[in-house]
Amino acid sequence: MLLTFPILWAMFRFFPASIELRQQPFLWAQDLSTYDAIIEFGHRVPLIGDHLSLFALLMAVTMWIYTKMTMSGQAAANDPNAQSMQFMSKWMMPIMMFFICNSLSAALSYYYLLSQLISMLEVWVIRKFMIKPEAVMAKVAAAENKPVKKSKWQQRLEEAQRMQEQQMRQKNNRR
């Protein structure tokens, strides 16, 4: 996360200040360097501001769908920590990102929206065409009864433990 932070900071600074994006329309956004207000409230609403950005709203919805899609295969079981992490990822992150991106440039919200859509497509393609659950389960069942092969490090460690135990027994026998 620390490695990506400077890149994210640069993007947050670049999009609103970019001369190339100023006064450039895209879809319903009239200016990509500022927010794309689809609804103007006329007065300031706490946390949201005086407008509603459609790119930010769509980005939050796709983030929620992507999180739901990726967490569908994970079971939280009875672990309260896992359940709280799933709640935070599924609900709090999209809501938080909406509030953050609502007043930022439309280009930045569009970037996040597009990256989420591409990620959703990647996950779908991998799950649909590349991962065969039957083959994975067959490999797991086949490997279940096989003995676990020990690494050389583990073999040396066990040998050192045996030698130490043998030395301790010899010491105790001498007494």
> Quick one: pLDDT at residue 26?
63
Q: What is the pLDDT of residues 54-66, one digit of tens each?
A: 888 888 999 899 9
Q: What is the pTM of this model?
A: 0.60
Distances in whole angstroms, Cα of residue 141 to Cα of each of 63, 64, 136, 144, 146: 35, 34, 9, 5, 10
Q: How remote is the C-alpha of 56 from its chain's centroid?
A: 18
Going by the DSSP 8-state scheme, the letter that residue 171 receives in this structure is H
CA distance 62 to 114: 9
Domain boundaries, the chain: 5-131, 148-174
16-20, 72-76, 145-149: which is most confident: 145-149
Tokens 């135990």 appear where? 165
> Quick one: pLDDT at residue 16?
61
- The pLDDT of 93-103, averaged and rounded, is 84
